[in-house]
Structure 1
Amino acid sequence: MTADGPAAAPAREPRGAPGVPQPRQSREESTAAALAHLRGALRAHTARRRRSAAAALYGTAVVAAGLVVPHLVTAVGSARPGSALGAVAAHAPSVLPVAAPAALATAVFLAARGALWRGPVRVDLPTACWALPSPLLRRRLLLPRLAAATASGVLAGAVCGAVAGWLSSAGGDGGQSAAATAAGAWAGVVTALVAVAAGVLVQRHERAVEPVGWRAVRLGWTGVVLLAALTATAAVAGVPNWCGHVLLWSGPWGWAAQPLVAAVGGPAPGWLPASVAAAAGAAVAAAAARRAAPLIPGESLRRRAAVGEQALASLFSLELRRLKELTRPGRPAVPRRLVRLPAPRRRWLVVPWRDATALLRAPGRPAWAGVWLAAATASAAAAPSLPPRPQAVLAAGALAAGYLAAAQLTESARLDGDDMRRSAGLPYPAGTLALLHAAVPAVLLLAGTAAGALVCAAAGAWHPVLLLPPCAVPALVGAALVSSYRGAMPVHLAVGADTPFGNTAPLQMAVWYLRGPLSALALTVPALVLALGGDGPGPGHALWLLASGAVQLVWARAAARNA
């Protein structure tokens, strides 16, 4: 009460007037509005990306429908006990208990390895720079990415698994082929779900994974090599049954493989409970990925978006060394004991001494060279017992594996080719330096090929054609040196010419990049094929391979001088 009567109620300001707090927009609404704005801003970019993806998918479908599928149908239709595919299908029941879990476990490892630099949950750079720092609902932003990655992985896994199952049942009746195809698709789907979940968990817990990532990658690659060796042993000589049982129950990759093993008549009596366990494991993995995806750190996604753009540019420009550096996991700087060799007393031994020291301090390269050399020896030893066409394929594969072994051992030459300042203090011209770089790889490859021939002789797999790989060592080392001193790619190769089949730039760039190994294979494969198809190797084959090596070394010397 006042003197003037009852207190008058204060007049309300109209809604929206200054000074009156407005009702806050819900986080769901603000997230939807922000994502709608982002979609509008990126509409043109998204349309171009979808057109590119559609063109790539169309091209893949055309190639598959015109080349791959007819050959597969013809091969499966003509599979018989004497054919190569028939022999593979006949060994499938004994090999698949080892090979199928090994292949599926390798796929999971590769997905986890890829998540160290890219990962299944990916965003583009505009989204990473604008949307991620904003207070938006992360699940609305990241779960669609996870769904797209899961769908593409499941589709690819189902197709690859179905094809593998169909080929494993070649020569069987229709019911067995259908069952094997369905079981292979099931294995691919389960593996894809587990692989995507493994990649998401690596992204989510990057801070815990990063300090030990390089060590985990090494252990993983070691496991892959051991599984590959076990699979090769199972295919050639057989392994105890307990090896297959252990792998088939070793995890989701083994559980998923059991229906396929049972479909081709292999030892998998518990395939039904294994299928249930695989389904449960896949469901748990998908749920874990869905929970972990919104919690991936924004800094991790931004760094992966930038690295992904750089890796794509390196791939399109065929800068594979740059691509390898981008995708390699970081290694913490830890002190380690350095391996030292006695200093040489002769001047011409300085470069080989430096190369040998570099290989001792990077033992992974000699180890991988040994793996490729073992694959080359195994291919050369298995070729004589096959028909002419598979013989040619194995001969080319053996020499290609030998080139990869040589490439692992010529890293010092590659570093000198990338930065000529490393060798500026050496008293050698560039051409002579390139030839000196060939000494250590040639000695190691000669010793490795000779040891492989001795092992094959001791195992009862000797054939005179095993005398030829040592003669091909100079050509393979020369090809590796040509690749080491390739220099900068000429700009005109990236322009190309338009043809009815598309622009020639990608083909020109690929040929320029691979000119060293392509020339070495073109010179050496015919000699090995003729030795396999004739009365055995003779002096003419050896002389041709040695002459090819001289040509490659002369080319390497010229490439080093012009780099």
Structure 2
Amino acid sequence: MATHPALAYLHEVRAGARRAKRRNAWFAAYACALIGGAWGLPLLLAASRAGGDGGRGGALGARVLDALPLLAPAALLLALLLIGYGATWRGPVTVERPALTWLLSAPLARAPVVLPRLLAALGLAAAGGAVAGGVAGFLLSALRGGPWAGATAAGGWAGLCTALVGGALGVAVERHEPSLLRRGPGVLRATRAAIAALCAGGALGVACGVPSWLGAVCLWSGPWGWAAQPLVAAVDGPAPGWRVAAALATGCAALAVWAARRAAPLIPLAALRRRATVAAQVTAALFALDLRQARGAVRTLGTPGARPRLRLPPPRHRWLLIPWRDATGLLRSPAHLAWAALWTTAAVTLTAYAPTARGGARLVAVAGAAVAGYLAAAQLAEPARVEADDIRRAAPLPTTAGALALWHACVPGAALLAGTGAGALLCALAGRWQPGLALLVAAAPAYVAAALVSAYRGPVPPHVLIGVETPMGNTGGPQAVAWYLRGPLVLLGATTPVLVATARASGFTPLAFALALLWLLGAGAVGLWWAWRTGRRVLRG
């Protein structure tokens, strides 16, 4: 077979390209080390000093440590699921398009081409997992106030094993992509449900505590629990059999790497080609700081959504057409509705809790409620965002470009008003009424307007990316970030101070309440006018 002579020839002629690639990799590693040393290391040292006197994590830190037998396996399982979910579009085995065209399509052995990519991906994932796990172990040791070396080593080892098993899971996703595509949305829905359940379970574990039997079940539930046991034992947690679990996790990681090495050459050529195309598109979009285009490229590998069980009848009047389209679009993507409900619940809960907090915790609670309200509106405004990404969808609609943006505010506004109003009513019935809850309902139009401004922001102007040279460096990056976030920054900045003042006020007069209400409604009206302008500019091209 001519595989080895062909690869030897390519190795010789591409020596210069390999040297350039190595230089880029070393530069990237140097930049990461520099940023980590300048920003991350001082924070870690401050955490170590804070925990040096026996732990200063407070009540929340003690709850985190008590719930660690649940949190650590849940976090590792969550990492595995996210790696597997990410493998639906980016690997871990990603082959460049020239190699796909000239090597894998030729009658050559596939293993010498694919395996180096697999080993490089597994090595990079193992290094990243070890660093992330070591940092987590170090922070947990600071919460406990004990020695940091053992916890850091145990955390790094847990991250290493999890990264290797996750990489093997990603190879399995690539290898069996045709089967996953046939099963369609069911697999993705189950994965998203598992991720949401893990996040909710971890939060409940911290808030309500974890029974000892449940912690033991989680620690022995699988490779994620086995890898977590040494870390739990390093911070004096209940893990008496951690040595056996460590041996099991090591064997599982080795078996996963062996299985991935055998499965990598069997990955279908179509799966490799799709990922190479999407990887090139995402890279180009990220260099252009166009995150929306990158997300659109990733979605091209998604499975088609299932038809909703609940269907809305077609509208009989022209003015109901756009709200009907928006509501139908949300029904076809129930994940957006679920996230909107979750963020709305968080906003109401934090608003009800804010007046009882003290100091900085009150400000954090109010700011968190405002951000959660905006995120809920952003999930509900997804149809407008999809339409802004492809302006051809708006061409046959019987309305002007600016009015279309305002029509897209109907469904998100009604849903957010209903959600926050229902939450405020439940808090009132439970005896947790606060004036801020009524103002949160009044701020809903401003949150929807901020979401619509973000949806119709369009591509970044070139002069924003170019920036200006200053003694502190070029301003292009910060300007691009501010340009992307200008809608929520302006409107949240206009509404949050009113909510903070309401949470701080011991007595709230009717005049002050009326003024705050008028301010929030005025901010919403100005935001909707802004959305009308941006929508008209983007849709007109």
Q: What TM-score do the two structures reach when normalised by structure 1? A: 0.85
Contact residue 190 and residue 282 of structure 1 kept, 8 A: yes
- In the alignment, the residues of structure 2 paired with residue 37 and residue 500 of structure 1 have an alpha-carbon distance, to the nearest angstrom, of 48
**Cα deviation code 1:254-292 (max 9, x no counterpart):** 111122223323333332322222122111111111211
Contact residue 86 and residue 170 of structure 1 kept, 8 A: no
- In the alignment, the residues of structure 1 paired with residue 157 and residue 452 of structure 2 have an alpha-carbon distance, to the nearest angstrom, of 45
Correspondence for 2:162 among 165, 181, 191 = 191
Correspondence 1:66-77 to 2 at 5 A: 66-77=38-49
Contact residue 119 and residue 199 of structure 1 kept, 8 A: yes
Correspondence 1:229-248 to 2 at 5 A: 229-248=200-219
Aligned to 2:141: 169
CA shift, 1:499, in A, is: 4.5
Aligned to 2:37: 65
**SS in structure 2 opposite 1:268?**
coil
Aligned to 2:367: 396
**Cα deviation code 1:49-77 (max 9, x no counterpart):** 43333333323222222222212321342
Aligned to 1:554: 529
Aligned to 1:97: 69
- In the alignment, the residues of structure 2 paired with residue 276 and residue 460 of structure 1 have an alpha-carbon distance, to the nearest angstrom, of 53
Q: Does 1:507 find its partner at 2:478? A: yes
For 1:102, the aligned partner's letter is: A
- In the alignment, the residues of structure 2 paired with residue 380 and residue 401 of structure 1 have an alpha-carbon distance, to the nearest angstrom, of 10
Correspondence 1:248-397 to 2 at 5 A: 248-328=219-299, 329-331=301-303, 339-341=311-313, 343=315, 348-381=319-352, 383=354, 388-397=359-368
**SS in structure 1 opposite 2:254?**
helix
**Cα deviation code 1:194-223 (max 9, x no counterpart):** 101101111122222222253212111111
**Structure 2 alignment gaps of length 5 or more:** none
- In the alignment, the residues of structure 2 paired with residue 296 and residue 420 of structure 1 have an alpha-carbon distance, to the nearest angstrom, of 37
- In the alignment, the residues of structure 1 paired with residue 28 and residue 499 of structure 2 have an alpha-carbon distance, to the nearest angstrom, of 37
Q: Does 1:208 find its partner at 2:183? A: no
For 2:525, the aligned partner's letter is: A
Correspondence 1:481-496 to 2 at 5 A: 481-496=452-467
Aligned to 2:197: 226
CA shift, 1:489, in A, is: 3.2
- In the alignment, the residues of structure 2 paired with residue 137 and residue 149 of structure 1 have an alpha-carbon distance, to the nearest angstrom, of 20
**SS in structure 2 opposite 1:120?**
coil
**Cα deviation code 1:356-380 (max 9, x no counterpart):** 2332333222112112223334444
**SS in structure 1 opposite 2:238?**
coil
- In the alignment, the residues of structure 1 paired with residue 88 and residue 197 of structure 2 have an alpha-carbon distance, to the nearest angstrom, of 23
Correspondence 1:404-419 to 2 at 5 A: 404-419=375-390
Q: Does the C-alpha gap of structure 1 residues 352 and 335 become closer, same or farther in structure 2, counting only changes over 3 Å? A: closer
For 1:559, the aligned partner's letter is: T
- In the alignment, the residues of structure 2 paired with residue 451 and residue 201 of structure 1 have an alpha-carbon distance, to the nearest angstrom, of 44
- In the alignment, the residues of structure 2 paired with residue 83 and residue 470 of structure 1 have an alpha-carbon distance, to the nearest angstrom, of 40
Q: Does the C-alpha gap of structure 1 residues 348 and 132 become closer, same or farther in structure 2, counting only changes over 3 Å? A: closer
Aligned to 1:16: none
- In the alignment, the residues of structure 2 paired with residue 89 and residue 31 of structure 1 have an alpha-carbon distance, to the nearest angstrom, of 57
Contact residue 204 and residue 295 of structure 1 kept, 8 A: yes
Aligned to 2:80: 108
For 1:97, the aligned partner's letter is: P
Aligned to 2:127: 155
**Cα deviation code 1:519-561 (max 9, x no counterpart):** 2232233333444445377525444333322221121111122
Aligned to 1:13: none
**Cα deviation code 1:275-331 (max 9, x no counterpart):** 222122111111111211222233322321122101111222233333223223433
For 1:180, the aligned partner's letter is: A
**Structure 1 alignment gaps of length 5 or more:** 1-26
Contact residue 151 and residue 235 of structure 2 kept, 8 A: yes
Contact residue 388 and residue 533 of structure 1 kept, 8 A: no
- In the alignment, the residues of structure 1 paired with residue 141 and residue 208 of structure 2 have an alpha-carbon distance, to the nearest angstrom, of 21
**SS in structure 1 opposite 2:89?**
coil
* Identity of matched residues, %: 49
Contact residue 318 and residue 513 of structure 1 kept, 8 A: no
Give the CA RMSD over aligned residues.
Answer: 3.0
Aligned to 1:528: 499
Aligned to 1:131: 103
Q: Does the C-alpha gap of structure 1 residues 425 and 132 become closer, same or farther in structure 2, counting only changes over 3 Å? A: closer
**Cα deviation code 1:8-28 (max 9, x no counterpart):** xxxxxxxxxxxxxxxxxxx4x
For 2:121, the aligned partner's letter is: A
- In the alignment, the residues of structure 2 paired with residue 49 and residue 391 of structure 1 have an alpha-carbon distance, to the nearest angstrom, of 49
For 1:545, the aligned partner's letter is: L
Contact residue 89 and residue 167 of structure 1 kept, 8 A: no
Q: Does 1:33 find its partner at 2:43? A: no
**Cα deviation code 1:122-160 (max 9, x no counterpart):** 222222222222343333222222221111111111111
Contact residue 464 and residue 536 of structure 1 kept, 8 A: no
Q: Does the C-alpha gap of structure 1 residues 561 and 208 become closer, same or farther in structure 2, counting only changes over 3 Å? A: closer
**SS in structure 2 opposite 1:318?**
coil
- In the alignment, the residues of structure 2 paired with residue 282 and residue 427 of structure 1 have an alpha-carbon distance, to the nearest angstrom, of 58
Q: Does the C-alpha gap of structure 1 residues 168 and 379 become closer, same or farther in structure 2, counting only changes over 3 Å? A: farther
Q: Where is the helix percentage greater, Structure 1 or Structure 2?
A: 2
Q: Does the C-alpha gap of structure 1 residues 149 and 415 become closer, same or farther in structure 2, counting only changes over 3 Å? A: closer
Aligned to 1:545: 520
- In the alignment, the residues of structure 2 paired with residue 383 and residue 149 of structure 1 have an alpha-carbon distance, to the nearest angstrom, of 45
Aligned to 1:122: 94
- In the alignment, the residues of structure 2 paired with residue 506 and residue 512 of structure 1 have an alpha-carbon distance, to the nearest angstrom, of 10
For 2:152, the aligned partner's letter is: T
Q: Does the C-alpha gap of structure 1 residues 245 and 297 become closer, same or farther in structure 2, counting only changes over 3 Å? A: same
Q: Does the C-alpha gap of structure 1 residues 184 and 466 become closer, same or farther in structure 2, counting only changes over 3 Å? A: farther
Contact residue 111 and residue 264 of structure 2 kept, 8 A: yes
For 1:261, the aligned partner's letter is: V
For 2:522, the aligned partner's letter is: A
Q: What TM-score do the two structures reach when normalised by structure 2? A: 0.88
For 1:548, the aligned partner's letter is: A
- In the alignment, the residues of structure 1 paired with residue 261 and residue 403 of structure 2 have an alpha-carbon distance, to the nearest angstrom, of 59
**Cα deviation code 1:470-492 (max 9, x no counterpart):** 23211110011112222343233
Q: Does the C-alpha gap of structure 1 residues 239 and 374 become closer, same or farther in structure 2, counting only changes over 3 Å? A: farther
